[in-house]
Chains A and B, each alone.
Chain A
């Protein structure tokens, strides 16, 4: 075993121990290279998003010498050429709809109409192919046409190409730096699947009043698919958590009664369905989830890692600590508006409050914005190593 392999094993053990609520040799640190990197590399956001090789090279140059454990990935969340091939309406990307140095924008619309509920519920996958893909893709407006067929070929080819390129990049980063990938699989809360890309915020909120039984039936229909998406295929890895960004469940998008009725049951079923197959969820609780901590505590022990963004950290520790690993502790705003000194002070305090008895992973609370400062990101890692030894 070479030096990097030994480092990988040490970091892996640290990560696994914390996920199981144990106390490793030191607090594991999660780190990602965000859009902020473009300010320091002379590249535009458009280059970073469109050119995967360039984006991956920027990451490859950044990683050596940084001492952290869990790698969250590079600056480009999406690969726009795949969206362009399909004529996707879902996003505006840097250089294609917005300025070359603006971050992407989600173009939320009712891509699924209120009248579509019954057909969607009867057979979700078929409805997505027959109606949703043509609705979200200008190139698929005339199914069966030359343009439509070519777009599907290009879109699926891009999906496979991106998967291959990124798998190779992650392999290289792991081998050369001894870092551990954060997770495998991606899914969502069923209510978010419905409320984000299908009905949109306005549509789904109106549905809560006008057709609540359809919302519940749709969430039930989505749940087994979201379990499947989270597992990332039969026989796939179960050591690492599945990443689940949670949106409309944050307080106060829904009132507590709506949350109890419409949001939580299908999300809980998704978590329990994955956990029954041995797969844990990174419960990426963006925003404030404080009012729901007691409900979340009903989940099976260790079935989630709870991400603390603006949730009351002390309450999260009191209610969930010991039974679920907690992750986070560093406000994203601190990396933008703070100084290295302030970051270090904050991390020392965070460790005292949240990490003392293990079951904690240091991370930023949410996705780090493009205006974050590199010196603050580096200070976060350095302070974690200085103060994070048990």
Chain B
């Protein structure tokens, strides 16, 4: 299993936590809050898409 495939056990509303992504990016020269906010919005969309199939 590669580093990226390690189990994340994400919280509700999350697929890939921002903290995991941030650690992979390393140095962050810009405004982290802007990037984090949009990452989490799309992550939440993906979460809802995944759970949609289980909530039938």
Contacts and interface: CB of A to CB of B under 8 A. Distances in A.
Interface of A: 88, 90-91, 106, 122-123, 125-126, 128-129, 132-133, 136, 155-156, 159-160, 186-188, 193, 196-198, 224-229, 233-234
12 contacts: A90-B56, A122-B7, A123-B7, A123-B9, A125-B50, A129-B15, A132-B53, A136-B53, A159-B48, A160-B45, A228-B47, A229-B51
Interface in B17-56: 44-56
Q: How would you classify the secondary structure of chain B's contact residues: helix, strand, loop or mixed? A: loop
A316 to B, nearest CB: 26
Nearest to A222: B54
Contacts of A129: 15, 50
Contacts of B13: 228, 233-234
B38 to A, nearest CB: 14
B53 to A, nearest CB: 6
Given A155-B49, A156-B46, A160-B45, A126 B55 contact: no
Given A128-B50, A133-B50, A197-B56, 13 more contacts: A106-B56, A122-B7, A125-B14, A125-B50, A126-B8, A128-B53, A159-B49, A197-B53, A197-B54, A198-B54, A227-B12, A228-B47, A233-B48
Interface of B: 7-15, 44-56
A110 B9 CA distance: 23
A234 B11 CA distance: 13
A196 B12 contact: no
A198 B55 CA distance: 9
Contacts, number: 66
Main secondary structure of the interface of A (DSSP, over half): helix
Nearest to B51: A229
B15 A125 contact: yes
Given A155-B49, A156-B49, A126 B9 contact: yes
Contacts of B47: 125, 228
A160 B53 CA distance: 14
Of all A-B residue pairs in the complex, the 4 with the closest CB atoms, nearest first, are A228-B12, A123-B9, A197-B56, A225-B12
B54 to A, nearest CB: 6
A27 B29 CA distance: 59
Given A123-B8, A233-B13, A225 B44 contact: no
> B9, B46, B53, B54 — which one has the most chain A CB atoms within 10 A of its CB?
B54
Contact of B10 (A123, A160, A198): A123
Contacts of B44: 233
Contacts of B15: 125, 129
B8 A197 contact: no
A115 to B, nearest CB: 18
A203 to B, nearest CB: 14
A197 B50 CA distance: 13
A228 B46 CA distance: 14
A122 B6 CA distance: 13
B16 to A, nearest CB: 10
Nearest to B40: A234
Nearest to A108: B56
A232 to B, nearest CB: 8
Contacts of A159: 48-49, 52
Nearest to A273: B12
Contacts of B50: 125, 128-129, 133
